[in-house]
């Protein structure tokens, strides 16, 4: 077998070198290299060696995906740990004869498994690597202790190299009600390291760590990106060394003593996902293609949801809620979600988390009257839960204070007047599982909105206080898996004070993420754009809220609120009892517009415009066959200059002619009192090339309004097959 492996998929090439019994060295990860013979691969491998004087060591080995200090890697090593100070610098060797197993899965995924061992350090590793047909790469590592003494693991992380022309970094930060704030910086020497110590992915999550060519955008510049599929503590970093090496890496962040690998035991990292593309949209497309290809990806249309949270909050009055159900049904909602406040003594947010039993006080006849009403209105029923949390004022905390996380003899700091239940504790796990199971067995609950509203702090197992985040995170996954297995058809949403748990670990068992507690469409432009770089739109909750935003106090007309919510898994979170007839009618038109285009919106390719200024943003969804597309052209602020402001439409087939129309899902065909751009009156037909290169002038609107444009192929010299005509 050759020691060089060339894997190719959808425009991506990965060349692995397994020579010299080393763990895989990445010779190339990036654009497709075409068919390469053994000679060319050998030449590529040779080209990876630098002149002797340029290497810090006389004869340093090449550096693998699990970088080893012992082989001359000067940055963060893949394995950190020891046995009371010994075996801290392992050097792994593969078997040499058959260094890798290479298989092709039924769906075309190419899978490589490489095993190596260090007989002196008594450690073995197994590296798994998969290249999906859509070009997404994922890898994880298992470390086994073959010695007799415990191995104290400090870190286990995998890296991927990026070329020297990747000089810029992009990742994300944020806070409550303002998730996915992008930050850019030069890829300088040293490490740009994002550490999560708060026990959940985070409202400020790194989300995607990208390195790219100078000025890379949504449609241009080569980009390499990584994401760790994990909902607990983690470190994701970009590291550049003086010798020119640049890597992107990630792994769990472990506390001292958190992972002690006993004799014969093993530990496996979460999957590290990676994608290369020309522009961020291509990178996002690879993540979307992979997520959509999984068997658990929802097959049925995403039901338009109405959630009572910003409508009635803790007021669980049956008459008020059934009225909301009726109004929701009238505007086209298909699922009703009852939010916080239905259990125990929970009439506000100070109490009762952990007591997952329907409140007799608020619901004297149980949830039946509401659920029956929801079903009669033709909707399915969903329920909010926060299973990992506990209020000190709860039956649970009174009965089992030892199940609450604590370290150093004290409970962690209180947050939102609640604490965290240690689901790594078998008793706590069984309690929550049994209460949730009883609810799911008793009521026709199609959907759980699974919330997690606080940071973890001093998250130690009682009584000793050993670090518990890892075990807790794995227990949450196990609990979701167990509930899903026992209740076929059940769906779970990942909510965490908004978008605090958006990652591909939790998305293995959830079908929706709540992007943010902020539903202000101006803020949502950025939040959704960032979120959808990783998560396809059908898995992102996007709601229409009231005219005045509950989180920012800004006021927006429905064209901007609904025009911004249209793109994801649509919902309504608005007290419809306060709406006028006109508003309800207008809202129902938006919902109907969404449902009539839902297939396109939930299967298409997400595209974003590279804007010359920040005043006007454009994004859209293009059918996979490029036969049609929808775009939102959003005016975020007044432009610095008067028009004409042209917007270029990305993603269409350059050779195909498209009819572009200005859609008016609400009532007004065009904003009143303003001039109308001529093309918008009856639409216009142009090729995809012209639309991408020259664009169209924007219909002038006031700031914080938006318009929906639709492009439908009307023929051309090939490529798309029109499915609909103008």
Binding site for ligand GLA (CB under 6 A): 309, 339-340, 349, 384, 451, 453, 495, 497-498, 514, 517
420 in Cβ contact with 199 (< 8 Å): yes
116 in Cβ contact with 91 (< 8 Å): no
- Closest CB to ligand GLA among residues 109, 453: 453
CB of 541 to ligand GLA, least distance (A): 9
CB of 549 to ligand GLA, least distance (A): 14
CB of 351 to ligand GLA, least distance (A): 12
Alpha helices in 443-509 (DSSP H): 469-486
DSSP 35-104: ---HHHHHHHHHTTPPPGGGSSSTTPPPP-SS--GGGT--S--SEEEEBTTBS-S---EE-SSS-EEEEE
What residue has token string 């965290």? 420
Q: Residue 162 contacts by C-beta under 8 Å, 6 or more apart in sequence?
A: 29, 211, 224, 246, 247, 248
Q: Tell me the three state secondary structure of residue 140.
A: strand
| Pick from 334, 339, 311, 309: nearest CA to 323 | 311
Distance CA 679, CA 399 (A): 69
CB of 620 to ligand GLA, least distance (A): 27
CB of 451 to ligand GLA, least distance (A): 5
- Closest CB to ligand GLA among residues 100, 321: 321
CA dihedral of 694, 699, 703, 708, whole degrees rounded to 10:
-90
- Closest CB to ligand GLA among residues 359, 453: 453
Q: Residue 72 contacts by C-beta under 8 Å, 6 or more apart in sequence?
A: 55, 56, 57, 60, 61, 63
Q: How many residues does the chain have?
A: 726
CB of 691 to ligand GLA, least distance (A): 38
- Closest CB to ligand GLA among residues 491, 557: 491
CA distances to 270, 275, 532 from 228, rounded to whole Å, are: 7, 12, 16
- Closest CB to ligand GLA among residues 93, 550: 550
- Closest CB to ligand GLA among residues 345, 401: 345
647 in Cβ contact with 618 (< 8 Å): yes
Q: Tell me the three state secondary structure of residue 157.
A: strand
Tokens of 462: 């009682």
CA neighbours closer than 13 Å in the CB half-sphere of residue 315: 10
- SS3 string, 325-370, reads HHHHHHHCCCEEEECCCCECCCCCCCCCCCCCCECCCCCCCCCHHH
CB of 469 to ligand GLA, least distance (A): 21
Partner residues linked to 239 by β-bridges: 191, 247
Q: Nearest-CB residue to ligand GLA?
A: 340
- Residues with a known catalytic role: 451, 517
- Closest CB to ligand GLA among residues 422, 517: 517
CA distances to 65, 114, 123 from 126, rounded to whole Å, are: 12, 6, 10
- Closest CB to ligand GLA among residues 176, 689: 176
CA distances to 19, 42, 63, 161, 516 from 46, rounded to whole Å, are: 11, 6, 14, 17, 49
CB of 310 to ligand GLA, least distance (A): 8
- Closest CB to ligand GLA among residues 79, 495: 495
Tokens of 43: 């030449």
Alpha helices in 488-597 (DSSP H): 521-531, 558-565, 581-596
Is the preceding peptide bond at 319 cis, omega within 30 degrees of 0?
Answer: no
CA distances to 330, 552, 589, 590 from 585, rounded to whole Å, are: 9, 26, 6, 9
Distance CA 12, CA 29 (A): 7
Q: Residue 597 contacts by C-beta under 8 Å, 6 or more apart in sequence?
A: 630
- Closest CB to ligand GLA among residues 458, 573: 573
| Pick from 324, 320, 437, 451: nearest CA to 379 | 324
CB of 565 to ligand GLA, least distance (A): 15
CB of 339 to ligand GLA, least distance (A): 5
CB of 416 to ligand GLA, least distance (A): 8
Burial code (b: 16+ CB inside 10 Å, e: under 16) for 284-313 equals: bbbbbbbbeeeeeeeeeebbbbbbbbbbbe
658 in Cβ contact with 713 (< 8 Å): yes
- Closest CB to ligand GLA among residues 422, 573: 573
- Closest CB to ligand GLA among residues 88, 313: 313
- Closest CB to ligand GLA among residues 124, 573: 573
CB of 324 to ligand GLA, least distance (A): 15
CB of 439 to ligand GLA, least distance (A): 17
What residue has token string 């995924």? 109
């Amino acid at each position: 077998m050759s020691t060089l492996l060339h894997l190719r998929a959808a425009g991506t090439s990965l060349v692995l070198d397994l020579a010299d019994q080393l763990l895989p060295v990445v010779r190339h990860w990036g654009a497709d290299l075409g068919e390469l013979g053994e000679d060319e691969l050998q030449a590529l491998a040779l080209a990876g060696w630098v002149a002797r004087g340029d290497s810090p060591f006389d004869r340093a080995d090449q550096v693998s995906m699990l970088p080893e200090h012992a082989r001359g890697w000067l940055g963060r090593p893949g394995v950190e740990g020891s046995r009371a100070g010994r075996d801290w610098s392992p050097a792994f060797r593969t078997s040499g004869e058959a260094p890798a197993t290479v298989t092709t899965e039924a769906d075309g995924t190419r899978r490589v498994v490489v095993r190596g061992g260090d007989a002196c350090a008594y450690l073995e590793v197994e590296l798994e690597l998969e290249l999906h047909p859509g070009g997404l790469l994922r890898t994880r590592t298992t470390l086994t202790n073959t010695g007799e003494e415990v191995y104290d693991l400090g870190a286990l992380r995998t890296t991927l190299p990026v070329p020297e022309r990747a000089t810029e970094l992009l990742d994300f930060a944020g806070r409550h009600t303002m998730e996915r704030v992008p930050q850019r910086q030069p890829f300088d020497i040293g490490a740009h390291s994002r550490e999560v110590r708060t026990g959940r992915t985070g409202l400020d999550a790194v989300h995607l760590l990208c390195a790219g060519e100078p000025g890379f955008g949504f449609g241009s510049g080569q980009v390499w990106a990584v994401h760790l599929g994990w909902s607990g503590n983690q470190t994701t970093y970009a590291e550049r060394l003086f010798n020119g090496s640049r890597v992107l890496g990630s792994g769990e962040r472990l506390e001292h003593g958190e992972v002690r690998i006993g004799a014969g035991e093993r530990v496996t990292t979460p999957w590290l996902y990676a994608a290369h593309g020309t522009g961020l949209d291509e990178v996002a497309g690879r993540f979307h293609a992979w997520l959509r290809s999984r068997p658990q990806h929802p097959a049925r249309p995403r039901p338009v949801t109405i959630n009572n949270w910003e409508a009635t909050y803790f007021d669980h009055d049956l008459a008020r809620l059934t009225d909301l159900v009726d109004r929701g049904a009238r505007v086209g909602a298909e699922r009703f979600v009852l939010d916080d406040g239905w259990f125990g003594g929970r009439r506000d947010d100070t109490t009762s988390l952990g007591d997952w039993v329907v409140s007799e006080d608020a619901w004297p006849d149980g949830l039946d009257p509401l659920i029956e009403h929801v079903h009669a209105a033709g909707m399915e029923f969903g329920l909010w839960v926060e299973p990992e949390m506990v209020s000190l004022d709860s039956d649970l905390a009174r009965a089992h204070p030892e199940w609450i996380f604590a370290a150093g003899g004290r409970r962690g700091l209180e947050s939102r007047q609640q604490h965290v239940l240690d689901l790594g504790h078998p008793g706590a796990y069984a309690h929550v599982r049994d209460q949730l199971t009883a609810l799911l067995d008793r009521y026709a609950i199609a959907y759980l909105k699974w919330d997690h509203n606080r940071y973890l702090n001093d998250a130690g197992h009682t009584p000793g206080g050993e670090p518990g985040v890892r075990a807790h995170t794995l227990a949450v996954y196990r609990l979701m898996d167990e509930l899903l297995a026992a209740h076929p058809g059940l769906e779970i949403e990942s909510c965490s004070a908004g978008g605090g748990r958006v990652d591909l670990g939790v998305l293995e068992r959830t079908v929706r993420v709540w992007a943010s507690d902020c539903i202000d469409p101006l803020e949502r432009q950025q939040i959704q754009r960032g979120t959808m770089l990783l998560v396809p739109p059908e898995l992102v909750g996007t709601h229409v809220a009231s005219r005045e935003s509950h989180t920012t106090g800004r006021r927006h007309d429905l064209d901007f609120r609904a025009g911004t919510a249209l793109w994801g898994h649509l919902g309504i979170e608005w007290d419809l009892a306060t709406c006028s007839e006109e508003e309800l009618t207008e809202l129902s038109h938006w919902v109907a517009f969404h449902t009539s285009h839902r297939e396109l919106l939930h299967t298409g390719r997400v595209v974003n415009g590279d804007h010359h200024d920040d005043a006007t943003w454009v994004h859209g969804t293009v059918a996979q066959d490029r036969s049609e597309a929808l775009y939102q052209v959003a005016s975020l602020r007044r432009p610095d200059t008067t028009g004409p402001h042209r917007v270029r439409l990305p993603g269409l087939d350059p050779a195909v002619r498209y009819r572009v129309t200005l859609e008016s899902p609400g009532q007004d065909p065009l904003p009143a009192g303003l001039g109308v751009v001529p093309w918008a009156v009856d639409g216009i037909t142009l090729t995809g090339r012209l639309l991408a290169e020259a664009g169209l002038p924007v219909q002038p609107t006031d700031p914080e309004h938006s318009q929906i444009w639709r492009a439908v192929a009307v023929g051309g010299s090939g490529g798309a097959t029109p499915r609909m005509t103008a």
